[in-house]
Structure formats: structure tokens, C-alpha cells
Structure 1
Amino acid sequence: MIRYIRWCAYFCAALLAALLINMGRVQVWEASAYGANPANKRTAVERYAKPRGDILVDGRPVTGSRDSGQLLRYERTYANGPLYAPVTGFSSQTYGTSFVERAEDPVLAGTDPGLSAFPFWYDLARGHPPGGNAVTTIRASMQRAAYTGLAGRRGAVVALEPATGRILTLVSSPSYDPAALSGTGARVKEAWTRLNADPARPMLNRALRETYPPGSTFKIVTAAAALDAGVVTDVDAPTQTPDPYPLPGTSTLLPNEATGCEDASMAEAVQWSCNTVMAKIGVQVGLAGMVEAARRFGFNDDGLRVPSWVSPSAFDTDMSPDQLALSSIGQFNTKATPLQMAMVASAVANGGELKRPYLVERTTQDDGSQVRRGEQHALGRAMSPATALRVQELMVKVVENGTGRNAAVPGAVVGGKTGTAQHGVGNAGTPYAWFIAWARAQGAPLPAVAVAVVVEDAAADRGGISGNSAAAPIARAVMAAALAAKPAP
């Protein structure tokens, strides 16, 4: 009898061991799989059980949380949602997150280990600390100046601090209110469908994700390449360029919108935006030289993060001489984001050194204690300091007595470059109006801001589109706001 009791005890012990092993398998080895299972609502319930941390602009939150009283308790709210949507993105209980909401989600959601000195305690307790905050580099006055200037027209504005790479302005228009996507249910699904079906594409971040032909603003890259390569040693010397200019190896003649471009110098070509001269100079620099110059400015880089990913700007690496001529004036297959063209202006303003753009100054705990700080990095030297100084002089002439007079800011030194980019089949599309610029307060040692503006308003009169009329006034307003603003802490 005792033997049977012993066997029974052994059998019960084996069952208990099997139960413990299976419990360990479920809770340890397969926990992540069960947690990711769409049928498991506990993860979502826990995620939205507490208010989400905030995204800050100039020290003030532009986001918040609202107690919905539902199973997924706290929904995201936005102050001035359309104004800051290209920065914050959305945080939706239905469709996930985007932009800073996605890039800094662990901090905002309270799951980042850096939010607590004892992260393992929260793991054991199956909880997490309050959500932290993401402090952005955006300046509110500049953001509003850009948004107001675009006035709902399709386009984008990016402004950088040349010495650091801080993104001071990031505007895309038309915009949308991220709050419409925050919760769940039919209302959110209808908003998602409507926004995605809108032909104006309000959810497209044109500043970071759309690429355009940069037109004549790219001539700044060509000018820098020519000076660094020694192709041009005297910017005031005649270039012996005919008007119109025969594209190499073809019978096609490249015309000018401006007058007086025949045999113009490079300085005059930048000042009055002569296509012929800059196309010829690009061919003289050569394919390898132009590709390398474009790379130094950030073109063909598919790894840029700010911290959200950025569409790569493109300069072809395999072209015939006639294609190179067009590419050197920002046409053919050359494409750039507004951020990329702001980087071009920033490199010129910063003495040739290009800083990596970044959008998050620091992340903090909910009490303001720092978790991580955004690091400033140099992407390399886009041009020599001597070349940068010479290109600065060329850009100042554009604003003082050239095609970019509408960008002048009283009491400041401003350098700029206009661009009117043709596009579409047979260039039949309404041109994109571009303007890139930098501004330095009188007496200041360095420029405080570099900006790029693109306006792609299909409803505009084709004949009235130009960088000076459509884009330069917006750049002026943003630069004036930058010069009037107090330095960032």
C-alpha cells in the first residue's frame, strides 16, 4: 500500500513540475508572442491607462491627454494641431504613431528604462513610470510666421540654426489636426479615410518626405563646386557663355529667363539667375566633381534621421554632359527636400561646415529631470571656408540688388537665392517657387538662421510664380522672427 502511495506522490510531483515548466514557458519564453497577439487587449489597456508625456515647444506643451472614460482611457490632445502636426505627428489608439510621437514613443509612453533609476522594479510590478517629455528645438514665433506665410498653399518651410543644426521651423501645408485620429471608433476611421483620400495630401510632411526639383537654388551647390575645384578662380570674370547655350552633344538650346546673361560672370549668373552660365560651369566641373559636391551637401544620403526618417535628396551619378548641364541648375532628375535645401543654405552660413539637423533638444522625466540630450554632430565640410565666404557674398548680392530683394530684413545682412523649378511633362506644370536664405544680425559674428521655402500652388497664375514673389516674403518673415527671438536655453 505504501508503494502505491509513493507512486502516486511521484506522479503528483511530476504533474506539478510539468505545470511549473509550462507556466515558465508561457510567462517567459512566449510572453512576447502573447503580448503581441492582436487578441490580447491587456497591452493596449495598460498603454493608455495613464496620461502620455508631452511634446514641448519653447518650454510649453503642445500636446496633452484627455480622460475618455473608455477602456482605452487616455486619448491624445493637441494644442494648435495643424500648426505643429509636421513636428508632433499623431498618436492614435487606432493607427499608431508618427514623427516625434513615434520616434520618442518609449519616453512619452513611460516605457523607456531611462525614466527610472530602478527599471527592473517596474518590470516586476508589471507597471511603468509616468510618461516623460520631449523638448523640441522648434521656436513658436518662427513656426507661426512660416505657417501664416504659406496661408494654406501647398508647400513647406524649414529653418535651421547653422552653427548647431537645430531645426527651428518645420511647416508643411496644407496641414491637419492630429486630434481627429486620437481615439477609436467610426469617427476616427472616417477622419483617416477622409485625410488619406484628400488630393491635397494634408498628412504628407512636405518638409521631410517630399522631394522637388530645386531649380535655381541648386546653383549655390554648383557655384561652391566650381570654386572648390578651381574651375572658377575669379567670380567677376566673364565666362564666355553664349545666350542661349547649346546643351553639349545636342541641338537643344538652353535659354534664360533673365536678360544680360551672355558672357556673364559667375557672380552675375548667381545674382540674376542665369541658367546658361551655371549649366556650362557644371559641365566644366564634371560629373565626378558635381556628384562629390552634392554628396558633401547631403544629397544621396538615405540615412538621415531628425529623429524621424527623411526622404533622400537625389543627384544622379550617371549622366551624359547635357543631362549634367540641366542637373547643375536643379533640373533633369535632381530632387531635394526642403530640409535638404535648408542644409545647403546652412552650410554656406556656417563657413562651409554642415551640421546634422535635429529636432529633439532633450527628453525628460515628467518632473523635468533630463533623460537624454540631443547631440550636435557635424556631417562634414561641404566646402572650404574661403569658398563659403565667397558664396556668402554672392548670395548677399542676390538680396541687395538681384532677384531676391523681397527677402531683405531691415537691420540684418541677408543672403539668398531664388528658384523657379519647372516640372511635369514638357514642363507644363505650374512651376515650384523656391527661396533659400540665411540671415545675420548687424554686428553679430555668425548668421542666426538658414531657411528654405517652397511653394507648389497649382491654383496660382503660372506667370506670377517666382521665388522672389511667392517664397521670399515667407523666408523674410521667418528670418525676422528668428532675429527677434531670444536664444534657445
Structure 2
Amino acid sequence: MTGDGRPMPRYIRHAAAFCALLLLALLVNATRLQIVQVRSYDENPANRRQTIARYGQPRGDILVGGSPVTGSRDSGENLRYERTYRYGPLYAPVTGFASQTYGTTLLENAEDDLLSGTDPMLSPLPLWNDLTRARNPGGNVVTTLDAIAQQAAYDGLGDRRGAVAAVEPSTGRILALVSTPSYDPQELSGTDKAVAKAWARLNGAADRPMLNRAVRQTYPPGSTFKVVTAAAALDAGVVEDLDAPLKAPDPYRLPGSSARLTNSVDDCAGASLRYAFAWSCNTVFAKLGVDVGLADMARTASGFGFDEPGPRIPFPVSTSTFGSGLDQAQLALSSIGQFDTRATPLQMAMIAAAVANGGSVRAPHLVERTTTAAGTPVSTTGPRAESRAMNPSTARLLRELMTDAVRKGTGRKVAVPGAEVGGKSGTAQHGIGNAGTPYAWFISWARARDAVEPAVAVAVVVEDAAADRGEISGGGDAAPIARAVMKAVLD
């Protein structure tokens, strides 16, 4: 109605309704843009505001033993705060890098939302940040690492190429994760020309310092894989007595082949499993793998983690492989950790941990908990998944074999006074016609004499291209490093 009581003209009513409709559409569209589609606009590469905001405040820290190994520096530039690293090369295989130019890797990548302050769990209320457009201070990541064990592993490797992984058998907590040669992630922080030069230099280096050999590189495990073969033989009942002579000749002709496998030690013909394990008789374990059969060997290897998707710790670990479709000659070689058998150092540490933990494998993890900047808990890593790699009785026998190998076999250099230590050495051939310099391996576990269960399991691999081929051995090159790491944890 108009002011004088007459009906409002139709065209005015239509115009009013149309204006109301336009206003409603405007409100709906504003809601869609600001709430529903806000993330897609924030993540659009053309939108620099998000990037500027991301580096407009200090990043949260990664902690080892309660102390931060990362920090932030105010550069005064447009992307204001640059990442800094304490002991950068020591922890690079864990932290990775956070670079304004090249992005993030490893823990910096896996925990990026929390560290950068965008994780919704850091907000006081659900959707609070989406409504207020605010950004919380970056949270902190508390790792499982043992700082002294990490340093011992790094010092032990020195200037050689190689890697060390150490875990707590009963929980899967990763205590050390080292890869050498390493690099300083701080070189990649910032946007100036020096960052681009560092990137080109690191990526072009022949020794590949940015390769995380502990979790991303797989190697032939050599004789350390004999732990898996022994477990398969004991579980399958192919071996029932550790001291009974086994019908393995020396040399051993690979089935269906004219090739003959030999040993580097004497008295392997007809040796018992105890002697063959302590002195690493290739012929005995190659024949055992054939006697167990491909199905049972593959099943046991899978129980330890081979041919399964690599674990996330929380960044991904490369898959370790045993293989399928092998003929008997290939199976014999795979059973001594050669042919196509490949493993990461972390996988081999899990094998030692399974023996120490009564046959069970705990999924490894690197993050203990996450917190806000003020220290309020955000998340805590609960009990990890557990799988059965072998029967408990088999694990008990393998612990006996591994302690014998340390007391009177190839692992004597890994002995720690006042502790029970089990180990297995390995020297893995590789390259065309095995022409490459062998890799030296050692896997082990240790329990303090007054402790109920083992405290640490370790795997060490050394790829020393400069060494004399005949002087390389797992018991000589890798065992002292494993000993130093175990001693650091036990002390």
C-alpha cells in the first residue's frame, strides 16, 4: 500500500522483490566466498597473501630431548621469518628443511600445518580461524629421539657414506636416525641467490647429501637377512635343534644352475645352525631358504615388513622387498640377502627389534606428541600397531643365536660390558657382477643386565667406496658404530 492507502503499483513491488532477491544473492555469494571456498582461494598459487602470512610469524619448533633443534630468524624481508637449525647436519634426516623457495620435506612437511599455525587443532574453537581470519602461533613437535644416541651414530659414521637407525623394541619409538654425508638445512632458508646456489650444489653433489639413506634408500642386506631365514626355518620346523648338523655341502650348487656358492670361513659343510649363524655360512642359509620354500620364506619376510607398504613415521619410508616368482636359485641367493632382496636401515632395525621383542614388530614412530606454542598438548602418539613376525619360541632361539654371534662369532666388536647384546653382521655384494665395493652391515639389540626387556635395536650400513674391498666387513666397519649407539642408550 502507498501512504494514501492506494495499492502499491505492480512495477514497484516487482522492483522491491528483485532488489531483495539481489541482496539475498549477494549475501549467499559472500558466504560462499568467505566460508565455503575460502580454502581454495587461500591455496591458489597466485594468492601471495597466504604465503606472506605463512612467513609473517615464527614457525613452531621441533624438539629433541626437550630442547628445540630449530628456530626462526626475522629477516626483515617480505617473507619475514626464515627457518634456522641448531646442529643442522646432525638432525637433517629427521627435520628436513622448510624453505620459502623450495618448500618443505620430512618432519617439516609432515607436520607443516601444526608448525606453521594453520592446524585447526590449535584454534580455541572450531572454525574460529576461518571466521576471524586469524592465525595461531605455530605448535611444537616433540620427537622420540635420544640426543646422545643420535650424536653417537653421527660421530661413528664420520665422513663415510652410510646410515644408522635405532628403535626401542617394545614401543617402536625411533631413538636415532642418521644419514651421512649430510647437509645444513639452513642453507635453503630464504629467497636470495645464495639459496639457489646451495640448492644447485646440494642436488649436483656426487655423494647426494640430501638423500635420506636411513629411510629412503634400500640396500641388499647381505648376511643380516639370515635372521629372517633362520626365523622361517625354525617356524616351519625345517630346523628343530640349533646344534644338529645340517645337510648343507660346501660349496653349494645353486638348484637348476651350474653356479656354486662358497663361504669365507671354514667348517661350513654339515654345520649346525648355531655355528652357521655365528660364522655366517652362506651355503647353509642358501640351502635353508630352498628347503623352507618360497611361500614360507615370503610369508616370514612379509611378517617382518618386507613387500609391504613402508611405514609412515610420519613421513613415508621406502618399501623393503624380498620378491615373488623366484626360481630356486634366486630363492637361495635371496635367502642370504642378495639377488633382489633390498631393505632400508630402518627395516633392518625393525628385524632386530622383533627378535628382542619376543617376535612382535611394533610400528616405528618419530613423534612423541605435539603441543601448542604454550605447551598445551594437541596430540599424543598412542600404542602403535603390533604384528607377529615369528613365534615367541623362535624369537627366544634367535636371541640365543644372536648373543652367541657376539660372544664367539663375527659380532664380538659390538659387545657392551654389563649388558646382554645380540647381533648379526653382513657384507653385501652389489653392482654388475658384484663389482661394487661391498656394503658393511650390522644389526643388533641390547638389554641392560638388570632390565626386564631390551632397550634398543640398531641397524648400521656403511658404504665406504674408498676402502680396500678385502678389508670391508660388517663386524669390523659397522659393529663399532652399533656398539656406540647402544651404549649411549644404555648409559
TM-score range, shorter chain: over 0.9
Residue in 2 aligned with 1:228?
235
SS in 2 for 1:264: coil
Task: Give me the whole-angstrom Cα distance separating, in 1, the residues matched to 2:21 and 2:400.
Answer: 85
**1:94-143 residue CA offsets vs partner (Å, 9 max, x unmatched):** 11111111111121111222223314332211012211111000000000
CA contact (8 A) 1:100 1:307 kept: yes
Residue in 2 aligned with 1:322?
329
Seen in structure 2, the aligned counterparts of structure 1 residues 115 and 36 have a Cα distance that, compared at 3 Å, is closer
Q: Out of 236, 249, 256, which is 1:242 matched to?
A: 249
What is the Cα deviation at residue 10 of structure 1? 6.1
Task: Give me the whole-angstrom Cα distance separating, in 2, the residues matched to 1:4 and 1:387.
Answer: 91
Report 1:283-432 matches (<5 A).
283-432=290-439
What is the Cα deviation at residue 378 of structure 1? 3.5
Which amino acid is the alignment partner of residue 279 of structure 1?
A
Task: Give me the whole-angstrom Cα distance separating, in 2, the residues matched to 1:4 and 1:66.
Answer: 65
Residue in 2 aligned with 1:133?
140
CA contact (8 A) 1:356 1:376 kept: no
CA contact (8 A) 1:353 1:378 kept: no
Task: Give me the whole-angstrom Cα distance separating, in 1, the residues matched to 2:456 and 2:41.
Answer: 50
Unaligned runs of 5+ in 1: 485-489
Q: Out of 40, 43, 52, which is 1:45 matched to?
A: 52
Residue in 1 aligned with 2:263?
256
Which amino acid is the alignment partner of residue 207 of structure 1?
A
Q: Out of 195, 216, 220, which is 1:213 matched to?
A: 220
Seen in structure 2, the aligned counterparts of structure 1 residues 440 and 309 have a Cα distance that, compared at 3 Å, is same
Task: Give me the whole-angstrom Cα distance separating, in 2, the residues matched to 1:37 and 1:117.
Answer: 26
Q: Out of 156, 160, 169, which is 2:163 matched to?
A: 156
TM-score normalised by structure 1 residue count: 0.96
Which amino acid is the alignment partner of residue 349 of structure 2?
A
Residue in 2 aligned with 1:475?
482
Which amino acid is the alignment partner of residue 33 of structure 1?
S
Task: Give me the whole-angstrom Cα distance separating, in 2, the residues matched to 1:28 and 1:446.
Answer: 53
What is the Cα deviation at residue 376 of structure 1? 2.2
CA contact (8 A) 1:282 1:290 kept: yes
Identity %: 64
Task: Give me the whole-angstrom Cα distance separating, in 2, the residues matched to 1:19 and 1:42.
Answer: 24
Which amino acid is the alignment partner of residue 229 of structure 1?
A
CA contact (8 A) 2:35 2:131 kept: no
Seen in structure 2, the aligned counterparts of structure 1 residues 367 and 33 have a Cα distance that, compared at 3 Å, is closer
| Alignment root-mean-square deviation, CA | 1.7
Residue in 1 aligned with 2:107?
100
SS in 1 for 2:368: strand
Residue in 2 aligned with 1:487?
none
Which amino acid is the alignment partner of residue 106 of structure 1?
D
Which amino acid is the alignment partner of residue 85 of structure 2?
Y
What is the Cα deviation at residue 171 of structure 1? 0.2
Q: How many residues align?
A: 484
Unaligned runs of 5+ in 2: 1-7
Task: Give me the whole-angstrom Cα distance separating, in 2, the residues matched to 1:25 and 1:349.
Answer: 56
CA contact (8 A) 1:63 1:77 kept: yes
**1:236-266 residue CA offsets vs partner (Å, 9 max, x unmatched):** 1111211110001111100111121111111
Seen in structure 2, the aligned counterparts of structure 1 residues 113 and 18 have a Cα distance that, compared at 3 Å, is closer
What is the Cα deviation at residue 28 of structure 1? 4.0
Residue in 1 aligned with 2:3?
none
What is the Cα deviation at residue 87 of structure 1? 0.8
SS in 2 for 1:207: coil
Which amino acid is the alignment partner of residue 407 of structure 1?
V
Seen in structure 2, the aligned counterparts of structure 1 residues 19 and 117 have a Cα distance that, compared at 3 Å, is closer
Task: Give me the whole-angstrom Cα distance separating, in 2, the residues matched to 1:30 and 1:114.
Answer: 20
Task: Give me the whole-angstrom Cα distance separating, in 2, the residues matched to 1:308 and 1:63.
Answer: 18
- Higher Rg: 2
SS in 1 for 2:316: coil
Seen in structure 2, the aligned counterparts of structure 1 residues 121 and 25 have a Cα distance that, compared at 3 Å, is closer
CA contact (8 A) 1:434 1:466 kept: yes
Task: Give me the whole-angstrom Cα distance separating, in 2, the residues matched to 1:118 and 1:253.
Answer: 70
TM-score normalised by structure 2 residue count: 0.95
Which amino acid is the alignment partner of residue 23 of structure 1?
A
